[in-house]
Amino acid sequence: MLTRFNARAAKMMLAVTTIVTATLGGSSAAWAVEDSTSSASPIKNVIILIPDGMANDATALARWYKGSSLTLDSMASGLVRTHSADAPIADSAPAGTAFATGYKSHTGYVGVLPDKATMPGQKAIAPGDAKKPIASILEASRLAGKATGIISTSEIMHATPADFSAHYPDRKNYDALSKQQVYNGMDVVLGGGSRYLEPAGRKDGENLVSSIKALGYDYVTTPEAMKASNSNKLWGMFAPAGMSYNMDRDPAKQPSLAEMTSKAIDVLSKDEDGFFLMVEGSKVDWAAHANDPIGIISDVLAFDDAVKTAMDFAKSNQETVVVAVTDHGNGGLTIGNNLTTGTYDEEPLSTFIGPLKKAKLTGEGVEAKLNAQRTNIKAVMKQYYGISDLTSEEVKAIKEAKPGTLNYVVGPMISKRAGIGWTSGGHTGGDVVLYTYAPNNDRPFGVIDNTDVAKYMARVLNLDLDSVSKQLFVPAKQAFAAKGATYKLDLTDAKNPKILVTKGSTKLELQIYKNIALVNGNKTMLDGVIVYNGVDAFVPQMAVDLIQ
């Protein structure tokens, strides 16, 4: 088992500020460490909060809308490069993989190495390493005896939360990702996505809700039940797919991101060994894709509330590092658009914020207020968006919008009226702001790489991610062949894909995407899940050791 260490074990005689520089994965990263005359407590806990797709102007817009500073503002410490292994603009899957594992990956790949690395400065993929699973900071924390958890306002098997808790080179394979999450030993899982845990929502037809309950989790579906739970293993599902934007949320049906964060901290902090928690404000990204400024404001502010919850705990606890950083920009949001080209420095704040303040729901929320025939478009837009001058073209666009896409239609409408600009409906490739807190002020600064975020978290928790990868993801076929055993990959049963290994009188069955091994029919729980990446299978060393 890995052990923790005190990064400031040596008591300093003078109050000074030291700059520590390290070379990480081919790039230089730096940390500022403020030493004092008293020894600080060791870092036991890390909370990373990810506002997916949050461009820099999004925080400025949210701040103006709120009318006061954000919690994030006091935490800014640097910038982060966001590119993936083979593209300057990253998809969430490889971007989150970089945060979780310390390695860049390829578009769509979750928790595995890329199959090509073509960006400047990237090392070629070693033979046999393409698509190989690599350990996350969450998995390393769990093996070190820490409690672990993930929170997401999207489906929990969506790219970013899956990056920390599962492995597969296709973010769309929810069956494989969610099964790994169920069997990966996390203590707290909160968010959306119940549809993909139920038989009707899965290609394999498996009932993972039953599995979750059988594993000892308190499975809850309401804020009330979440708050009332006293269990040390909590799994909360509050929507069939993604949860509502915070502005649209029914508090009786869905908890806020801050409430989920608070509950997770309450549960995880019971572990004397410490904890790791990943919190994603997922739908900032979704709003940016739709060019919907109301959705962005809604969920940036909700995310900032969650950051405050984490910070309040960290400042009181004094053994907790907090990191907040987005995985990439999205939408190219600007305060000011082509209509303000000649007047940008004369426009009052009300030009930009006034129209936004009139909105009572996001574009997604407004859709539910339209009747079946959409004959009440003008009345709804006036009541909920304060827009009383819809053009005939705009009315037509709203009327013809497909279900689930209205935010893509009304977002640009209010953006135009508020002088908000957009350059894209997709991700962008600029650097993003890094926000950090550490009780000893040991935190990154300057411009670092997204992979350095994982390496920083691993360092403060004294975890070796590469060693954990070797422990958890051994190439199965080669390993069992070296033991003189016969090996068979059996994918005939979609509900129970497995590896069959035989040596002498020993028959070993390893259940893929689970942490279950059957040795001559007797169940053994492994220290990690078995992963099949579509080509090869990988097993914990513990599974290999079952064959003598």
CA atoms within 13 A on the CB side of 519: 13
> Does the annotation list 52 as a binding residue?
yes
CA distance 122 to 137: 22
Torsion of CA 93, 199, 153, 472, to 10 degrees: -40
> Does the annotation list 327 as a binding residue?
yes
CA distance 26 to 452: 10
> Does the annotation list 204 as a binding residue?
no
Q: Amino acid letter at 454?
A: A
- Burial zone of 308 (CB within 10 Å; 0-12 exposed, 13-18 middle, 19+ buried): middle
CA distance 356 to 276: 37
CA distance 360 to 370: 14
Terminal CA-to-CA distance of the chain, rounded, Å?
22
Edge-first strand listing for the sheet containing 498-503? 486-490, 498-503, 506-511, 516-519, 522-525
CA distance 18 to 41: 18
> Does the annotation list 106 as a binding residue?
no
Handedness of CA 427, 428, 433, 437 (dihedral sign): positive
> Does the annotation list 160 as a binding residue?
yes
Q: Which residues, other chains included, contact 396 with Cβ-Cβ below 8 Å and sequence gap of 6+?
A: none
CA distance 193 to 217: 16
Q: Which two tokens stand for residue 132?
A: 């190989």
CA distance 545 to 541: 6
Helix intervals (H) in 144-207:
159-163, 174-182
DSSP symbol at 296: H
DSSP string computed for 37-72:
SSPPPPP-EEEEEE-TT--HHHHHHHHHHHTS--GG
Contact (CB, 8 A) for 106 and 123 = no
Catalytic residue among 77, 84, 92, 178: 92
Going from the C-alpha of 140 to that of each of 3, 150, 158, 455, the distances in angstroms are: 11, 14, 21, 12
CA distance 512 to 176: 9
- 92 labelled catalytic: yes
CA distance 474 to 479: 7
Q: Which two tokens stand for residue 46?
A: 């890390």
- Please identify every residue annotated as catalytic: 92
Q: Which residues are annotated as a binding site for Zn(2+)?
A: 52, 285, 289, 327-328, 427
Binding annotation for Mg(2+): 52, 158, 160, 280
